[in-house]
Structure formats: C-alpha cells, structure tokens
Amino acid sequence: MSDTHAQKIDKLVMKTYARNPVTFVRGQGCRLWDDAGKEYLDFLAGIAVVNLGHAHPGVASAICEQAGKLVHVSNLYYTEPQARVAELLTANSFADRIFFGNSGAEANEGALKLARLWGKERLNGAHVVITMKGSFHGRTMATLSATGQDKVQKGYHPLLPEFRHVTFGDLDSLREAWDEHVCAVLLEPVLGEGGVVLPPAGYLAEVRELCDKNGALMILDEIQTGLGRTGRLFAHEHFGVAPDVMTLAKALANGLPAGVILATEKAASLFGPGAHASTFGAGPVVMEAARVVLETLTKPGFMESVAQRGGYLKAGLDKLALAHPRAVAQVRGLGLMLGMELTAPCAQLAKDLLAAGFVVNCTQDKVLRFLPPLTVGTQEIDALLAALGAALAGFVPA
Ligand SMILES: *Cc1c(COP(=O)(O)O)cnc(C)c1O
C-alpha cells in the first residue's frame, strides 16, 4: 500500500512542526474540509492569515486574472499592482513609505536593519534594540535574537548580541534598560504568540514618549495584531499612538506570502538604493491579493463589524469562564484576537476540539487562542461555544 500524504510529509519534510493528524483539501469562508470530507470550523484562520476567510471570491479572481497577465519582473522596474498597494497602505496609516518583502520575519529583519542605520546616522552609533520578554518576532537569526522566548532561541547561541529584553507592560523595566546605546524599541501592541497579553493602560503612550525623548525609533510589530484583527485596521489605533516604523505580514495577502515595513519619511529616508532589497517582494499576484484585502478592510463599517463579532465571541467566552471556574483562569483580548487562559495545559483540549471539528490554537501551554476569519458568523461562534463548553465540562485541572 502506498503512503498517505501525511506519511510522505512525515518521512520527507524536516520535522520542524508538531502536526495534527488532518489533511485539509478545501476551504470556504470559516469552513475547512479534510480528505475524508469531514467539515471543520476554522477559529485560527491559518494563523491570523486568512482574515477574509478561505477561498475569498474577490481575492481568488484578482490573483487568477493577474496570474494570466504578469507574475514577476523584479524590483528593478515599476508595476501597477505595487503602486496601488503602496497607496492603500500609506493612505490608511501613519506611514509615508513602504518596503515590500515576503514574510513577517523578513519585515522585522528589515526594520532592525533600518534601526541600525538610524542609530548610526542619528544617535552616534547607538545599536541596542529593546524588545519584550514573551514577544515573538520571527525565526531568522536577528528576529529570534529579538524574540523574548528561550524556546525559540534554544540551540542557536551565540545570538545577535545587541538586544535587551524587558518586561512587557512594565515601564520601570524599560527605563532601567535604557541608556545612550539604545536606537529603537521593538514591540507587539498585544503579545500574540506570547499568549494574547494586553498592555496596561497608557503603556504604549509612555513608550512613545520615551522614544521621542531619546530620539529612538518606536517599531511596532503588527504582523499578528494588524489588518483588522483587533477591530481597528491597526492595533495601535486603540492606544492613541503612532509608531515610526511598523511591520505587517500574515493577513496582508489573505494567505499568499507578503510582508511589509511601513515608516515615516524621516525613518524611511535612511534606506537608499542598495541598502535593502527583495527578489520576490511586491510580486504582482501577491499585490493583487493585498489590494483586495485592503479595499475590503477599509470599506465603511467593516471594522465595526469585526469589533461587534469580537464582542459577541468574548461575551460567550466570558460566560463559559463563569460556568467553568475550575477550568478557566481568564479571558482576554481585543476584537477577534482572543485568548482563554486555562488552569492547566490545553494541548489535549485543542486536539479534542479538532476531533470535534473545530480548529483552535493552544499557545504558551495554557492559553487557547482564537483568531477566526474576520467574517466569522454568529452561528459559527455559537457552534464553537457549544463545543468548547462541552470540552471545558470534561476538563480536569491537574
Ligand atoms: C507570525 C509572526 C511573526 C513571524 O512571521 P513569519 O511570516 O512567520 O516570518 C513575527 N511577529 C509576529 C508578532 C508574528 O505573529
């Protein structure tokens, strides 16, 4: 008998992932189907990637049309799709200029290079970047060094040395780490992979003020929080601050690989010809997907609908927390970026939910993370809440 697809992947692909025993073949909106025809509700959206839902008709037709027209010409020339997305991103954000790459780690890597130039040119060679414990910024050498989690760094020492990790949300910890060598602070507005952790009130505004006072760049990693996930186009809008530099990726092209650095003119001006580059960045097919994503997210009323759906899911999770106080420690989040911290590890519970037809994520051992498509419906949320309630009823903390 020949191997299944899963067996082939287990045998032939490097073992960097702990995979679940499901082979998906098709998606539509919030629904997925596996190779046995079983239906699932997706409360993960890839990992905060397929924000408009699977097989979005507008994205599908835009990329099909573009694929038949022009797929690649490199960045030595101009293309119309790149112009449109640059215009949409700057018109709807603080940014004056964009750099186009292909992934989150790559966007952060570029932002860190920009911080180096900033320190060199504006701060007498300052080169230290302050980042947060519990953060996640990617898997390249620079971004895993920036990441404040041992499990991501294990085995890869010596790391890039010029990072200082401080406690997220703690201003004293930030002030203590600051000296004349600091050129930038890099942080997620809400820790994502770190367990859906919100900053205390006023924290981001204080970080902004410290950066201004010291001439350092404030770099926000909105790779997970951005593009509507929290009920605003960018999460920093909730906190009344704007960064100097921001990175986006995950949801930008609804599943095609894309990452961008957005910056003010004053920061962006340090990147001149030859300073940074990407072969695939801003490929026309990817840009067409991003155009549809951005046009959809900026439609009047779209963000309000995300906030409303998020409020509905959060209210349901809060109710379950009240009903199962021995199992649930806390529910938290913003918009459709929600976490339910359990009183014991949740990996098995996530597996049980998958078997019951619900895709959810377990992060930081005990946090169930919900990142559904931004179009998730009330009935779909109700179905998840019913299944989760049943699972929590059988959840026995150790
Ligand atoms: C996913 C993620 C990254 C890394 O993105 P990749 O595309 O996997 O390189 C970086 N930062 C945050 C906050 C993320 O959620």
Minimal-distance CA residue to ligand 1 atom 15 = 224
pTM of the predicted structure, to 2 decimals:
0.98
Choice from 17, 168, 193, 363 to test ligand 1 binding pocket (greatest atom count within 8 A of CB): 193
Q: Cα separation of 153 and 156, whole Å?
A: 6
Q: Is residue 320 in contact with ligand 1, taking CB distance under 6 Å?
A: no
Q: Is residue 248 in contact with ligand 1, taking CB distance under 6 Å?
A: no
Q: Is residue 193 in contact with ligand 1, taking CB distance under 6 Å?
A: yes
Q: What rounded mean pLDDT belongs to the chain?
A: 97
Question: Quick one: which H or E segment has residue 164?
Answer: strand 163-166
Write the pLDDT tens digit of every residue in 153-194: 999 999 999 999 999 999 999 999 999 999 999 999 999 999
Q: Which atom of ligand 1 is nearest to the CA of 106?
A: 9
Give the chain's domains with CATH numbers: 5-56+301-393 (3.90.1150.10), 58-297 (3.40.640.10)
Q: Is residue 188 in contact with ligand 1, taking CB distance under 6 Å?
A: yes
Q: Cα separation of 156 and 350, whole Å?
A: 29
Write the pLDDT tens digit of every residue in 231-269: 999 999 999 999 999 999 999 999 999 999 999 999 999
pLDDT > 90 fraction of the chain, expressed in percent and rounded: 98
Rounded to the nearest angstrom, the distance between the alpha carbon of 37 and the centre of ligand 1 is 31
Minimal-distance CA residue to ligand 1 atom 6 = 104
Q: Is residue 103 in contact with ligand 1, taking CB distance under 6 Å?
A: yes
* DSSP character at residue 281: T
Q: Which atom of ligand 1 is nearest to the CA of 222?
A: 13
DSSP of 330-364: EEEEETTEEEEEESS--HHHHHHHHHTTEE-EEET
pLDDT > 70 fraction of the chain, expressed in percent and rounded: 99
